[in-house]
Amino acid sequence: MNRTPLTEQNVAEALSFARQAMPGAGEIALRYFRQTLAVDNKLSKGSFDPVTQADREVEACLREELTRYCPAFGVIGEEGGATPGTTDINWIVDPIDGTKAFISGFPTWGILVGLQQEDRVHAGLMYQPATGELFYGSAAGAFLEQKGQTLAMQSRQNVRLEEALLYCTHESMFANQDNLAAFHRISGKARLQRFGGDCYSYCMLALGQVDLVVEDTLQPYDIVPLIPIIEAAGGVITDADGKTPLGGGFVVAAANRELHEEVMALL
Amino acid sequence: MNRTPLTEQNVAEALSFARQAMPGAGEIALRYFRQTLAVDNKLSKGSFDPVTQADREVEACLREELTRYCPAFGVIGEEGGATPGTTDINWIVDPIDGTKAFISGFPTWGILVGLQQEDRVHAGLMYQPATGELFYGSAAGAFLEQKGQTLAMQSRQNVRLEEALLYCTHESMFANQDNLAAFHRISGKARLQRFGGDCYSYCMLALGQVDLVVEDTLQPYDIVPLIPIIEAAGGVITDADGKTPLGGGFVVAAANRELHEEVMALL
């Protein structure tokens, strides 16, 4: 297996390929958005984790396109698992992040693609096809593309916890009472706390609208593609130990380093 | 004061005028959306109720336009209070419903306009300018207009509580422990419960995506414009006593009559 590190030029090209793949994947997702869906239930014991035809078809489309552009890279997807390439570089794909928003008709879900080599995520993208918003980030910066316009994104650098807008998809996501208590210590000090959001919250953090996202029990594909977007916008995102959250789990995303430190002191 | 009842033709004309007024109002709102805002704090004791320049300017625009089109009608707005006309007919205006979504960058807030005469709401509109979605309803039906296309809306008629998707903006909106307990009795039986949404949840109910919205401490302008949208789509919306929620407060909106009855039995 080829372990040559990616160059900035490689990353820029790969990111450009992934951007080109998004509109086609988005069109597939929109065929199922706000339509009556046959919703599968992946978990058997009463939890609700819809997997739709959209999920499977979007991932199949992205696997094909990304492999065609970059045959040496592997693909690790939520639906189809891992398909190794000839290098240690992988695309991480979450075809529909925010399936509950998706089945509720809210345009706040997203198609996520990340580019990972070992412990480094070089590039990440989130595409919301109903609004046409494409958020992406790499060492070259964080950007929002919509209606042919490109906007450089920056997270809020001067906000502390008492002024912060905090998002979390749902309290039921916390793995245990300790983690929920930690969330409440944080939310009790924030200016405003709102639920909902999924991947959209993290992109709003990069865009300087939301200041904090604190979540738990994330899967790697839920969060890995968002890491470069947040970091390139000036934010900080880690797990509870202060490490890059490559494995998912408990995640603290903050608009700036001081805010992140304030929150970590409450864990 | 003229108390002549509105005819269907009057309502159709007034609704048409209100639809024409929305894009201009939406343009004003978008000037402030995702920009850095000087956020006022209407409530002094720690609660967070942002009132933005957008709120004031959008309402001023709608007051001017609606009064120009229909000089005999009064206007009751969130920001500017009541301006009587020469009849007992009033426009009810909430310039930005979902101010917390607005300041967080989420495209799930809306501009609300209702047409009320005594205890009847003849027409209602919700406009989301970032997505370009215009939801409206009257005796002539419930519709979603977007990108030049018009879609007739219908709420889900065959869903019962155990299959229902339930929305509520935030648990902190419940006025007291009894109301919160009633909400938990309902949410405990629903298939899926999500927070967030504001006016967008009610429109997704009309569109057949969400099945239930249960909220509390609503102001009249938060909910009156949404009543005709839900009713015209086949839904049922009442207060805790089963009456049309003209005064706001505790509200149950359901996709169909049987689901509404199931929920009312839990109050």
DSSP state string for A211-229? -EEEEEEE-HHHHGGGHHH
Residue to substitute from A43, A47, A104, A135, interface B, most B β-carbons within 10 A = A104
What lies within 8 Å, CB to CB, of B138 at 6+ separation is B11, B12, B15, B122, B123, B124, B228, B232
Contact B205, B213 (CB under 8 A): yes
Bridge partners of A236, per DSSP, are A254
Dihedral in degrees, nearest 10, Cα atoms B29, B31, B34, B37: -90
The pTM assigned to this predicted structure is 0.94
Band (A44; pLDDT cuts 50, 70, 90): very low
Digit-coded pLDDT (tens) for B203-220: 999 999 999 999 999 999
Q: Does residue A120 belong to the interface with chain B, where contact is any CB pair within 8 Å?
A: no
Whole-angstrom distance, CA of residue B142 vs CA of residue B233: 5
Ranges in chain B, pLDDT < 50? 37-50
A51 pLDDT higher than 70: no
A38 pLDDT higher than 70: no
Among chain A residues, CA nearest to B188: A46
Domains with residue ranges and CATH for chain A: 8-152 (3.30.540.10), 161-264 (3.40.190.80)
Work out the minimum CA distance from A205 to partner chain B, whole angstroms.
9
Q: Tokens at residue A172, please?
A: 């039921």
Mode of pairing for the β-strands spanning B236-238 and B249-254? antiparallel
Given this model, what pLDDT does residue B51 score?
Answer: 58
Which chain B residues have a beta carbon less than 8 Å from that of A200?
Answer: 106
Which chain A residues have a beta carbon less than 8 Å from that of B192?
Answer: 48, 100
Q: Does residue A100 belong to the interface with chain B, where contact is any CB pair within 8 Å?
A: yes
Residue A196 to residue B195, Cβ atoms within 8 A = yes
DSSP annotation of A80 reads: T
The CB-side HSE value for A237 (13 A sphere, CA atoms) comes to 34
Q: Tokens at residue A238, please?
A: 């880690």
Side chain identity at B197, as an amino acid letter?
G
Given this model, what pLDDT does residue A52 score?
Answer: 75
Residue A167 to residue B104, Cβ atoms within 8 A = yes
Q: Which of B100, B131, B194 sits opposite A100 (nearest CB)?
A: B194
Contact B93, B119 (CB under 8 A): no
For chain A, the distance separating the N- and C-terminal CA atoms, rounded to the nearest angstrom, is 40
> Which residues numbered 48-67 in A keep a CB inside 8 Å of some CB on B?
48
Digit-coded pLDDT (tens) for A76-104: 999 899 999 999 999 999 999 999 999 99
Digit-coded pLDDT (tens) for A154-170: 999 999 999 999 999 99
Q: Does residue A80 belong to the interface with chain B, where contact is any CB pair within 8 Å?
A: no
Widest pairwise Cα distance in chain B: 49
Given this model, what pLDDT does residue B264 score?
Answer: 98
Q: What is the mean pLDDT of chain A?
A: 93
Given this model, what pLDDT does residue B36 score?
Answer: 60
User: How big is the A-B interface in CB pairs under 8 Å?
Assistant: 73
Q: Does this complex have an ipTM over 0.90? A: yes
Query: Which of A47-56, A113-122, A126-135 is least confident?
Result: A47-56
What lies within 8 Å, CB to CB, of A213 at 6+ separation is A166, A167, A168, A197, A201, A202, A205, A251, A252, A253
Q: Does residue A132 belong to the interface with chain B, where contact is any CB pair within 8 Å?
A: no
Given this model, what pLDDT does residue A36 score?
Answer: 60
Band (A46; pLDDT cuts 50, 70, 90): very low
Residue to substitute from B104, B108, B151, B202, interface A, most A β-carbons within 10 A = B104
Digit-coded pLDDT (tens) for A179-216: 999 999 999 999 999 999 999 999 999 999 999 999 99
Mode of pairing for the β-strands spanning A74-77 and A141-146? unpaired
Work out the minimum CA distance from B65 to partner chain A, whole angstroms.
28
Q: Does residue B21 belong to the interface with chain A, where contact is any CB pair within 8 Å?
A: no
Given this model, what pLDDT does residue A191 score?
Answer: 94
Residue B131 to residue A107, Cβ atoms within 8 A = yes
Given this model, what pLDDT does residue A249 score?
Answer: 97
Digit-coded pLDDT (tens) for A109-127: 999 999 999 999 999 999 9
Q: Does residue A170 belong to the interface with chain B, where contact is any CB pair within 8 Å?
A: yes
Which chain B residues have a beta carbon less than 8 Å from that of A207?
Answer: 34, 105
